[in-house]
Amino acid sequence: MGPISLLAFLSASFSAAQAPLVVAIGDSTTAGTPYFLSPSEAPPGGRGDAEAPYPREIERRLGWSVLNRGVAGERSDEIRARFMRDALSEHPRYVILLAGVNDIYQGVPLSETEKNLRWMYERARESRALPIAASVLPFDRSTAAQRARLRELNDWIRKEAAAEKIPFCDFAAAAADGRDRDKLSGSPDGLHPNRATYALVGAAAARCLKTLEKPRAAEKNQLR
């Protein structure tokens, strides 16, 4: 390889390292409901207000490419069924997994949700993508029993992330009302975040991702 082509190769490698690919997969709170239908729901480019979903806020803040693979109404088993195709086939560096609220809403046993989440965490790691375990957002119209189960699920996600040594990002805290953690800071329908709350979730995700890139940058500097 000559000096010009080598320089081009190194430049391309550096650019790729500086702009990692992220896949955000999940349900309506990833898709951007009720403002946006994701590309997975309305191919090829989605439909509606593309600026609303939280993955778009990551792009605004970090300048990275983030693929929105949310589908409204899906439980964790349905997300699991398309996980390899919709997330890992893209060969991302990071996969943000936000799933479980529809399991809570439909009364799926927590053990089933946990099994599905663990399976997706493991498949991502096997594919050399780093899974980011996101806590599940609250919703205003939840019952007392649903709120208790949601807190239990989020406690499990936090502990499982620590046990698996994968990043945990507290989306629930970012989206919650400061006076009541069981409610969203803003919602148009009592179920989904409003635009401002989606932006708060995206900001939290961007902070998590930026922290993960710092060790990689330090390692590259040591090799020079």
Q: What is the pLDDT of residue 29?
A: 98
Q: What is the pLDDT of residue 19?
A: 82
Distance CA 154, CA 142 (A): 15
Domain borders along the chain are 20-223
Tens of pLDDT, residue by residue, the chain (224 residues)? 333 333 333 334 334 456 899 999 999 999 999 999 999 999 999 999 999 999 999 999 999 999 999 999 999 999 999 999 999 999 999 999 999 999 999 999 999 999 999 999 999 999 999 999 999 999 999 999 999 999 999 999 999 999 999 999 999 999 999 999 999 999 999 999 999 999 999 999 999 999 998 766 555 544 44
* Cβ within 8 Å of residue 66, ≥6 positions away: 22, 23, 24, 55, 56, 58, 59
Best CATH choice for the domain 20-223 from the list 1.20.120.1200, 3.40.50.1110, 3.40.50.410, 3.40.50.1370:
3.40.50.1110
- Would you call 135 exposed, middle or buried from its count of C-beta atoms within 10 A (0-12, 13-18, 19+)? buried
Report the first-to-last Cα separation within the chain, whole angstroms.
21
